[in-house]
A = this chain, B = another copy of it.
Protein backbone atom coordinates (compact mmCIF):
# COMPACT_ATOMS: atom_id res chain seq x y z
CA UNK A 1 0.00 0.00 0.00
CA UNK A 2 1.19 3.47 -0.82
CA UNK A 3 1.47 5.55 2.33
CA UNK A 4 -0.38 8.84 2.29
CA UNK A 5 -0.25 11.79 4.66
CA UNK A 6 -2.74 14.63 4.81
CA UNK A 7 -1.73 17.97 6.27
CA UNK A 8 -4.68 20.00 7.48
CA UNK A 9 -7.36 17.42 7.70
CA UNK A 10 -10.14 19.34 9.45
CA UNK A 11 -11.69 21.02 6.45
CA UNK A 12 -14.03 19.70 3.81
CA UNK A 13 -11.29 18.83 1.34
CA UNK A 14 -9.42 16.92 4.02
CA UNK A 15 -12.52 14.96 4.97
CA UNK A 16 -13.18 14.30 1.31
CA UNK A 17 -9.68 12.89 0.82
CA UNK A 18 -10.39 10.51 3.70
CA UNK A 19 -13.69 9.48 2.13
CA UNK A 20 -12.08 8.81 -1.23
CA UNK A 21 -9.03 6.98 0.09
CA UNK A 22 -11.34 4.73 2.14
CA UNK A 23 -12.33 3.30 -1.25
CA UNK A 24 -8.82 3.23 -2.74
CA UNK A 25 -7.42 -0.28 -3.06
CA UNK A 26 -3.74 0.63 -3.27
CA UNK A 27 -3.24 3.52 -0.92
CA UNK A 28 -3.74 4.10 2.75
CA UNK A 29 -3.84 7.30 4.72
CA UNK A 30 -1.38 6.80 7.55
CA UNK A 31 -1.06 10.31 8.88
CA UNK A 32 -3.50 13.14 9.35
CA UNK A 33 -2.43 16.37 10.89
CA UNK A 34 -4.10 19.26 12.64
CA UNK A 35 -2.59 21.37 15.36
CA UNK A 36 -5.98 22.26 16.75
CA UNK A 37 -7.48 18.77 16.80
CA UNK A 38 -4.29 17.03 17.87
CA UNK A 39 -5.18 13.76 19.59
CA UNK A 40 -8.80 13.65 18.50
CA UNK A 41 -10.10 10.95 16.24
CA UNK A 42 -11.09 12.00 12.75
CA UNK A 43 -14.40 10.19 13.04
CA UNK A 44 -15.31 12.23 16.11
CA UNK A 45 -15.12 15.35 13.97
CA UNK A 46 -16.59 13.61 10.90
CA UNK A 47 -19.02 10.94 12.13
CA UNK A 48 -19.76 9.85 8.56
CA UNK A 49 -16.28 8.30 8.58
CA UNK A 50 -17.04 6.00 11.52
CA UNK A 51 -15.94 2.55 10.42
CA UNK A 52 -14.03 3.96 7.46
CA UNK A 53 -11.11 5.73 9.13
CA UNK A 54 -9.37 4.93 12.41
CA UNK A 55 -6.88 7.77 12.44
CA UNK A 56 -6.44 10.46 15.03
CA UNK A 57 -5.10 13.91 14.22
CA UNK A 58 -1.48 14.60 15.08
CA UNK A 59 0.56 17.78 15.11
CA UNK A 60 2.35 18.07 11.78
CA UNK A 61 5.92 16.79 12.09
CA UNK A 62 8.13 17.01 8.98
CA UNK A 63 10.19 13.98 9.95
CA UNK A 64 7.15 11.78 10.32
CA UNK A 65 5.50 13.12 7.20
CA UNK A 66 8.68 12.19 5.36
CA UNK A 67 7.79 8.54 5.98
CA UNK A 68 4.85 8.94 3.65
CA UNK A 69 5.11 8.28 -0.07
CA UNK A 70 2.79 11.16 -0.81
CA UNK A 71 1.61 14.14 1.18
CA UNK A 72 -1.51 16.15 0.40
CA UNK A 73 -1.86 19.70 1.63
CA UNK A 74 -5.46 20.57 2.45
CA UNK A 75 -4.44 23.75 4.17
CA UNK A 76 -5.05 27.46 3.66
CA UNK A 77 -2.52 29.11 1.35
CA UNK A 78 0.91 29.77 2.83
CA UNK A 79 1.49 26.41 4.50
CA UNK A 80 2.43 24.16 1.62
CA UNK A 81 5.11 26.46 0.29
CA UNK A 82 6.72 26.35 3.74
CA UNK A 83 6.68 22.58 4.18
CA UNK A 84 6.87 21.16 0.67
CA UNK A 85 10.55 21.87 -0.17
CA UNK A 86 11.80 19.76 2.70
CA UNK A 87 9.40 16.90 1.94
CA UNK A 88 10.28 16.91 -1.74
CA UNK A 89 13.97 16.87 -0.84
CA UNK A 90 13.32 13.71 1.16
CA UNK A 91 11.64 12.07 -1.80
CA UNK A 92 8.01 12.63 -0.90
CA UNK A 93 5.62 13.46 -3.72
CA UNK A 94 3.47 16.47 -2.87
CA UNK A 95 -0.04 17.32 -4.00
CA UNK A 96 -1.07 20.75 -2.89
CA UNK A 97 -4.78 21.53 -2.83
CA UNK A 98 -4.08 25.11 -1.81
CA UNK A 99 -3.11 27.93 -4.13
CA UNK A 100 0.62 27.99 -3.31
CA UNK A 101 1.88 26.38 -6.50
CA UNK A 102 -0.85 27.34 -8.96
CA UNK A 103 0.36 30.70 -10.21
CA UNK A 104 3.65 30.43 -12.08
CA UNK A 105 4.62 34.04 -11.50
CA UNK A 106 5.51 34.77 -7.85
CA UNK A 107 4.68 38.43 -8.43
CA UNK A 108 1.15 37.57 -9.46
CA UNK A 109 0.95 35.26 -6.46
CA UNK A 110 1.94 38.06 -4.14
CA UNK A 111 -0.49 40.47 -5.77
CA UNK A 112 -3.45 38.23 -5.08
CA UNK A 113 -2.44 36.42 -1.88
CA UNK A 114 -0.47 39.20 -0.17
CA UNK A 115 2.36 36.82 0.68
CA UNK A 116 5.92 36.60 -0.57
CA UNK A 117 6.40 33.19 -2.16
CA UNK A 118 8.95 31.30 -0.09
CA UNK A 119 9.64 28.43 -2.48
CA UNK A 120 10.18 29.98 -5.91
CA UNK A 121 12.38 27.11 -7.11
CA UNK A 122 9.82 24.50 -6.32
CA UNK A 123 7.16 26.76 -7.81
CA UNK A 124 9.13 26.76 -11.03
CA UNK A 125 9.04 22.99 -11.29
CA UNK A 126 5.51 22.44 -9.97
CA UNK A 127 3.05 20.99 -12.46
CA UNK A 128 -0.47 22.33 -12.77
CA UNK A 129 -2.61 19.32 -11.99
CA UNK A 130 -5.28 19.43 -14.65
CA UNK A 131 -4.84 15.95 -16.11
CA UNK A 132 -6.81 16.71 -19.25
CA UNK A 133 -4.09 19.22 -20.17
CA UNK A 134 -0.94 18.15 -18.36
CA UNK A 135 -1.27 14.39 -17.88
CA UNK A 136 2.24 13.43 -18.91
CA UNK A 137 3.91 16.11 -16.85
CA UNK A 138 1.84 15.14 -13.83
CA UNK A 139 3.08 11.55 -14.03
CA UNK A 140 6.62 12.71 -13.42
CA UNK A 141 5.94 15.66 -11.15
CA UNK A 142 7.35 15.93 -7.66
CA UNK A 143 4.90 18.71 -6.81
CA UNK A 144 1.45 19.02 -8.28
CA UNK A 145 -0.56 22.19 -7.87
CA UNK A 146 -4.11 20.92 -7.69
CA UNK A 147 -6.34 23.37 -9.58
CA UNK A 148 -8.95 25.55 -7.96
CA UNK A 149 -12.60 24.59 -8.27
CA UNK A 150 -13.78 27.44 -10.48
CA UNK A 151 -10.69 27.19 -12.71
CA UNK A 152 -11.32 23.48 -13.24
CA UNK A 153 -14.89 24.03 -14.37
CA UNK A 154 -13.99 26.95 -16.63
CA UNK A 155 -10.92 25.41 -18.27
CA UNK A 156 -12.61 22.08 -18.98
CA UNK A 157 -15.56 23.98 -20.37
CA UNK A 158 -13.49 26.06 -22.78
CA UNK A 159 -10.70 23.62 -23.62
CA UNK A 160 -11.99 22.17 -26.91
CA UNK A 161 -12.95 25.62 -28.19
CA UNK A 162 -9.60 27.14 -27.32
CA UNK A 163 -7.56 24.29 -28.73
CA UNK A 164 -9.54 24.43 -31.96
CA UNK A 165 -9.18 28.18 -32.28
CA UNK A 166 -12.93 28.33 -32.46
CA UNK A 167 -13.60 31.47 -30.42
CA UNK A 168 -12.48 35.06 -30.24
CA UNK A 169 -9.73 35.73 -27.74
CA UNK A 170 -11.66 38.42 -25.95
CA UNK A 171 -15.10 39.04 -24.60
CA UNK A 172 -15.35 35.63 -22.95
CA UNK A 173 -17.76 35.54 -20.01
CA UNK A 174 -17.51 33.02 -17.19
CA UNK A 175 -20.63 33.34 -15.08
CA UNK A 176 -19.95 30.81 -12.31
CA UNK A 177 -22.02 29.57 -9.41
CA UNK A 178 -20.67 27.61 -6.47
CA UNK A 179 -22.13 25.79 -3.50
CA UNK A 180 -21.27 26.98 -0.02
CA UNK A 181 -18.73 24.22 0.68
CA UNK A 182 -16.40 26.20 -1.58
CA UNK A 183 -16.04 28.65 1.28
CA UNK A 184 -14.59 25.95 3.51
CA UNK A 185 -15.37 24.71 6.99
CA UNK A 186 -14.72 27.98 8.74
CA UNK A 187 -17.00 29.75 11.18
CA UNK A 188 -17.86 32.83 9.14
CA UNK A 189 -21.09 34.80 9.33
CA UNK A 190 -21.52 34.72 5.56
CA UNK A 191 -21.42 30.93 5.50
CA UNK A 192 -24.11 30.46 8.13
CA UNK A 193 -27.19 28.51 7.19
CA UNK A 194 -29.37 31.52 7.96
CA UNK A 195 -27.28 33.78 5.73
CA UNK A 196 -26.68 31.53 2.75
CA UNK A 197 -29.83 29.45 2.48
CA UNK A 198 -32.85 30.47 0.46
CA UNK A 199 -30.81 33.25 -1.17
CA UNK A 200 -28.42 33.88 -4.02
CA UNK A 201 -25.88 36.56 -4.76
CA UNK A 202 -22.77 37.38 -6.73
CA UNK A 203 -19.53 38.18 -4.96
CA UNK A 204 -16.06 39.28 -5.90
CA UNK A 205 -17.14 41.07 -9.08
CA UNK A 206 -14.18 43.39 -8.63
CA UNK A 207 -11.70 40.54 -8.27
CA UNK A 208 -11.46 36.94 -7.09
CA UNK A 209 -8.30 34.92 -6.51
CA UNK A 210 -9.34 32.34 -9.06
CA UNK A 211 -9.26 34.92 -11.86
CA UNK A 212 -5.46 34.93 -12.39
CA UNK A 213 -5.47 31.15 -12.29
CA UNK A 214 -8.20 31.00 -14.92
CA UNK A 215 -6.42 33.55 -17.10
CA UNK A 216 -3.12 31.66 -16.84
CA UNK A 217 -4.81 28.36 -17.64
CA UNK A 218 -6.84 29.47 -20.64
CA UNK A 219 -3.85 31.36 -22.06
CA UNK A 220 -1.75 28.20 -21.75
CA UNK A 221 -4.37 26.21 -23.57
CA UNK A 222 -4.98 28.84 -26.25
CA UNK A 223 -1.35 29.80 -26.67
CA UNK A 224 -2.58 33.37 -26.47
CA UNK A 225 -3.93 35.68 -23.76
CA UNK A 226 -7.68 35.52 -23.42
CA UNK A 227 -9.85 38.42 -22.29
CA UNK A 228 -12.34 36.98 -19.86
CA UNK A 229 -14.72 38.34 -17.26
CA UNK A 230 -15.37 36.08 -14.30
CA UNK A 231 -18.25 36.56 -11.86
CA UNK A 232 -18.62 34.02 -9.04
CA UNK A 233 -21.95 33.58 -7.29
CA UNK A 234 -22.96 31.76 -4.10
CA UNK A 235 -25.55 29.00 -4.49
CA UNK A 236 -27.72 27.80 -1.62
CA UNK A 237 -26.47 24.23 -1.88
CA UNK A 238 -23.55 22.32 -0.43
CA UNK A 239 -21.65 20.78 -3.34
CA UNK A 240 -21.53 21.85 -6.94
CA UNK A 241 -20.20 24.37 -9.38
CA UNK A 242 -21.99 25.40 -12.53
CA UNK A 243 -20.04 27.51 -15.01
CA UNK A 244 -22.04 29.18 -17.75
CA UNK A 245 -19.56 30.24 -20.40
CA UNK A 246 -20.17 32.61 -23.29
CA UNK A 247 -17.84 33.26 -26.19
CA UNK A 248 -18.11 34.65 -29.70
CA UNK A 249 -17.50 32.06 -32.38
CA UNK A 250 -14.65 32.71 -34.77
CA UNK A 251 -15.01 29.52 -36.77
CA UNK A 252 -18.46 28.60 -37.99
CA UNK A 253 -17.48 25.41 -39.76
CA UNK A 254 -17.35 23.28 -36.64
CA UNK A 255 -19.82 20.73 -35.32
CA UNK A 256 -19.53 21.81 -31.72
CA UNK A 257 -21.00 18.65 -30.23
CA UNK A 258 -18.57 16.54 -32.21
CA UNK A 259 -15.65 18.78 -31.28
CA UNK A 260 -16.33 18.17 -27.62
CA UNK A 261 -17.00 14.47 -27.97
CA UNK A 262 -13.80 13.95 -29.94
CA UNK A 263 -11.66 15.96 -27.59
CA UNK A 264 -12.95 14.19 -24.50
CA UNK A 265 -13.35 10.71 -26.00
CA UNK A 266 -10.54 9.21 -23.95
CA UNK A 267 -11.02 11.21 -20.80
CA UNK A 268 -12.32 9.13 -17.91
CA UNK A 269 -13.60 12.11 -15.95
CA UNK A 270 -15.07 14.45 -18.52
CA UNK A 271 -18.51 13.53 -19.78
CA UNK A 272 -19.94 15.38 -22.77
CA UNK A 273 -23.69 15.61 -22.26
CA UNK A 274 -25.99 14.78 -25.18
CA UNK A 275 -26.68 17.61 -27.61
CA UNK A 276 -29.19 20.07 -26.22
CA UNK A 277 -28.76 18.93 -22.63
CA UNK A 278 -28.58 21.06 -19.49
CA UNK A 279 -26.47 19.23 -16.92
CA UNK A 280 -27.34 19.53 -13.23
CA UNK A 281 -24.81 19.91 -10.46
CA UNK A 282 -26.40 17.05 -8.52
CA UNK A 283 -25.71 14.74 -11.46
CA UNK A 284 -22.03 14.72 -10.45
CA UNK A 285 -22.48 15.05 -6.68
CA UNK A 286 -19.79 13.07 -4.92
CA UNK A 287 -18.12 12.04 -8.19
CA UNK A 288 -14.98 13.13 -9.99
CA UNK A 289 -16.85 13.89 -13.19
CA UNK A 290 -16.96 17.16 -15.08
CA UNK A 291 -20.03 17.15 -17.30
CA UNK A 292 -20.12 19.68 -20.13
CA UNK A 293 -22.81 20.63 -22.60
CA UNK A 294 -22.12 22.85 -25.58
CA UNK A 295 -24.80 24.98 -27.23
CA UNK A 296 -24.82 27.21 -30.24
CA UNK A 297 -26.87 30.17 -29.02
CA UNK A 298 -30.05 31.18 -30.87
CA UNK A 299 -28.10 34.15 -32.32
CA UNK A 300 -25.84 31.59 -34.11
CA UNK A 301 -22.79 33.66 -33.23
CA UNK A 302 -22.34 32.86 -29.59
CA UNK A 303 -21.30 29.54 -28.10
CA UNK A 304 -22.67 28.77 -24.65
CA UNK A 305 -21.03 26.05 -22.58
CA UNK A 306 -22.50 24.60 -19.41
CA UNK A 307 -19.91 22.91 -17.21
CA UNK A 308 -20.67 21.23 -13.88
CA UNK A 309 -18.45 19.64 -11.25
CA UNK A 310 -18.60 18.74 -7.59
CA UNK A 311 -16.30 21.41 -6.20
CA UNK A 312 -15.05 19.08 -3.45
CA UNK A 313 -14.29 16.22 -5.85
CA UNK A 314 -13.26 17.16 -9.41
CA UNK A 315 -12.80 20.68 -8.02
CA UNK A 316 -10.51 19.53 -5.20
CA UNK A 317 -9.98 16.17 -3.51
CA UNK A 318 -11.08 13.87 -6.33
CA UNK A 319 -8.82 15.60 -8.81
CA UNK A 320 -6.06 15.33 -6.22
CA UNK A 321 -6.56 11.57 -6.03
CA UNK A 322 -6.61 11.44 -9.83
CA UNK A 323 -3.27 13.25 -9.85
CA UNK A 324 -1.97 10.92 -7.17
CA UNK A 325 -2.91 7.91 -9.28
CA UNK A 326 -1.04 9.40 -12.24
CA UNK A 327 2.03 10.22 -10.17
CA UNK A 328 2.25 6.67 -8.85
CA UNK A 329 1.61 4.95 -12.14
CA UNK A 330 -1.75 3.57 -11.07
CA UNK A 331 -4.99 3.27 -12.95
CA UNK A 332 -6.19 6.86 -13.05
CA UNK A 333 -9.63 5.88 -11.78
CA UNK A 334 -8.70 4.02 -8.60
CA UNK A 335 -10.85 5.12 -5.69
CA UNK A 336 -12.92 7.30 -7.97
CA UNK A 337 -15.38 4.87 -9.54
CA UNK A 338 -18.44 5.21 -7.28
CA UNK A 339 -21.45 6.75 -9.03
CA UNK A 340 -22.70 10.18 -7.98
CA UNK A 341 -25.35 10.42 -5.28
CA UNK A 342 -28.68 11.61 -6.66
CA UNK A 343 -31.17 12.65 -5.49
Contact = CB atoms under 8 A, between A and B. Distances in A.
Contacts of A180: 192-194, 197
Interface centre among A47, A227, A297 (most CB of B within 10 A): A47
B48 A342 contact: yes
A341 B343 CA distance: 12
A187 B242 CA distance: 26
A338 interface: yes
Contacts of A244: 175, 202, 231, 233
Contacts of A233: 177, 242, 244
A193 B229 contact: no
Interface stretch (A95-103, A132-140, A159-167, A273-281): A273-281
A273 to B, nearest CB: 8
Interface stretch (A109-117, A204-212, A254-262, A318-326): A204-212
Q: Oligomeric state, in number of copies? A: 4
A51 interface: yes
Contact of A199 (B171, B281, B291): B281
Contacts of A27: none
A119 interface: no
24 contacts: A12-B194, A19-B339, A23-B338, A47-B273, A47-B291, A48-B339, A51-B271, A175-B246, A181-B343, A185-B189, A187-B188, A187-B192, A191-B194, A194-B343, A199-B281, A199-B283, A200-B235, A200-B237, A200-B281, A201-B279, A202-B244, A206-B295, A285-B341, A286-B286
